[in-house]
Each structure stands twice: as C-alpha cells, then as structure tokens.
Amino acid sequence: MVNTFLKYAFYPLMLTSSLVAGLTMLHFEVPLPWIVPIISLTVIPLCFWLELKFPETPHWRFDKQELVSDVLHASLSNTIPTALFRALFFGLVTAAAVQLEGALGYSLWPEHWPLLAQLLWAVLIIEFISYWIHRSLHTVPLLWPLHALHHASRRYYCMIGLRKHPVQVIYTYGIRLTILWLLGTPAAVMTLYLGMVATNSMMQHMNVPMRCGVLNWIFATPQLHRWHHSKEVVESNSNYGDLLIIWDAIFGTRILPDNVERLYDEGLGLPDGTKVDNSYWGHLKMPFVWKHIQPDNK
C-alpha cells in the first residue's frame, strides 16, 4: 500500500500541497521571507526519510561525506549568493523597472489578473528563462565546469538537488531575478513559484520509485529528471526544466527511455575516471581545477 502510494500519488500530492501551503501562509500573512524556508524545512526531512525507508535502488544511497557537503551547499552555497545579489542589485533593478514602465506608459506585469493566473504566467516565463540558462550550463564549455558539480555524484538522493556551486547560483538566480524584477513580478507570486520549485527539486532527485504518467508531459518529474543525470551526454543534455517540461518538449530535449534499469547498472554522474573530491572544499574548487580532474589527465 505504501509503495503504491509513493509510486503514483506522492508526487502530485506533494506538488499540490506546496502550492496550498504557500497560499495558506499568504492568507494568514506569514512574512514572505519565511514561506519558502518553512516549505523546504518540511519537505527535506520527509523526502530524506522516505528514501531511507523505501529506496528504489540501494546503489543510489548517499555516503556521509557527500551528505555533509550537500548540507553545506543547502545552508551556504544556495543562500549567501542570492542574499548578496539581492542586497547589491534589487534597488538598482527595481528603479530601472520604474523608469522602464514610465517610458512605456503601462505596467509590464498583469497585476489585475487573479493571483493563480499571475502565478501561471510567472511559471511560464521563469521556466522559459530557466530552460535556456540550464541548457547553456550544459552546452557552453566555459559554464559546464560550474554545473558539473551538480552531476558529480554517482548516487541519486534528494539532497543533490541542493548541490550548486555558488558562482553558478549567482549566474542562474541573478538572470532570473533581474528579469522578474524588471517585469515587476509581485513578491507573493515569486514566493509561490519558489516554494513549488523547491519541493519539485527535492522530489526530482529522490531515490524512491515514482511513476508520473501524463504529468511527464507537463512537469519536470522525477521519472524524467533522473535521465538528466545519466553518464551518457546525449541523455544528460536533456530534460532541463526545473518545474515544467513543456519547453523541453517544444525545443526537442525531452526524453524518457524505457530501460531505467540501465541507470541502476551503469550508474550516474560524470564520465568514469573523473577525480571528484566530495568534500565541500573539493566541490568549491572543482570548476577551477577542472582540466586536472578529467579522465585523460592521469
């Protein structure tokens, strides 16, 4: 019964719950900066516990060193760069947005729309931006060493969704925040989106069997995302969506092979022979020693 629930109901229920939780906290006027951390601190331990109790494959269990590093990524690599970017550029970009709206003579954001309609519009815009940012991290040689850290694990567990190099965080979040601020996206709408994408990121990387059916054509589901961590470049250069998969479907990068057992057998991550130091410091310096850790540099 539990396995059936996890396999078919857990994903849509959790995604819906994160939206309902965000809307509820907005209704009760919970301070906006608290909402995403509250959702995340609820989802992370639940996902972590479930994959310990009901793993899809033992081969994907984390090791302690990786776990320590990923906790540090969650608490430092993801938070400090975004806070720094906000502190430095929020005032400048919002001032530019006011000037832009004044020059155009109308608001760039449909503030008169219902909140959920605004959220849907924001999701489509953000996911379009995120798709091309993520794709650039895989296809631009200068950017790939930054993002390769996220693909460095041979294991697959929920915390690697939080494994991001601080420089990559500035690049990805900086572009997204700048565009959304220029458009005048309300903070409440951005908060609802971030709560959903934080939940989805944890589930995308869970070592739990989930089969998502028709949702695989709408959302960037766990069933799709694990192929993004394949060692085969043709497979890892696919399924770029953070929350939606529709832009992958439109631009031809959505894949869902049948033989998931191959991922269990052949493993995930970077090419064999890549020398990965899984300490937090090793993760931070990885892009800067990239040439020296490649299989050909033995």
Phi, psi of 154 (to 5 degrees): -80, -15
Crossing angle for the helix pair 115-139 and 166-183, nearest 10 degrees? 140
217-263 per-position pLDDT tens digit: 999 999 999 999 998 888 999 999 999 999 999 999 999 998 777 77
168-207 per-position pLDDT tens digit: 999 999 999 999 999 999 999 999 999 999 999 999 999 9
Residue 243 lies in a domain: yes
Higher pLDDT, 275 or 1: 275
Site of tokens 């800067």 = 288
Q: What is the pLDDT of residue 43?
A: 95
Residue 117 lies in a domain: yes
The residue range of the domain holding 158 is 2-293
Residue 298 lies in a domain: no
Residue 202 lies in a domain: yes
Distance CA 121, CA 276 (A): 40
Q: What is the pLDDT of residue 245?
A: 98
Q: What is the pLDDT of residue 260?
A: 74
- Number of domains forming the structure of the chain: 1
Residue 247 lies in a domain: yes
Residue 183 lies in a domain: yes
Cβ-contact 26, 18 below 8 angstroms: no
- 10 Å Cβ neighbour count for 124? 13
